[in-house]
């Protein structure tokens, strides 16, 4: 068995959040183009309410 030292992995939180933001923006933009402004606005409101229900990490 190898005796390599275990080292800390890189933190990919910020790139993930940026990617998720871009993906959410593109999804809402696609919804807006296909179904209209109010569908995108309503979907954004639903996502905002769901995110607000997540517990705090403190």
Would you say residue 45 lies in a domain?
yes
- Please, are residues 28 and 40 in contact by the beta-carbon 8 Å criterion? yes
pLDDT score, position 20: 94
Would you say residue 6 lies in a domain?
no
User: How many domains in the chain?
Assistant: 1
Write out the residue range of the structural domain in which residue 41 sits.
13-52
Q: Which residue reads 């919804």 in tokens?
A: 31
Query: Model confidence over 19-51: pLDDT tens digits?
Result: 999 998 999 899 889 989 888 889 889 989 999
Helices 37-52 + 13-35 axis angle, to 10: 150
pLDDT score, position 37: 87
């Amino acid at each position: 068995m190898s005796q390599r030292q275990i080292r800390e992995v890189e933190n990919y939180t910020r790139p993930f959040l940026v990617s998720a933001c871009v993906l959410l923006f593109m999804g809402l933009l696609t919804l807006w183009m296909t179904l209209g402004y109010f569908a995108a606005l309503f979907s954004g409101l639903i996502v905002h309410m769901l995110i607000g229900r997540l517990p705090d990490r403190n």
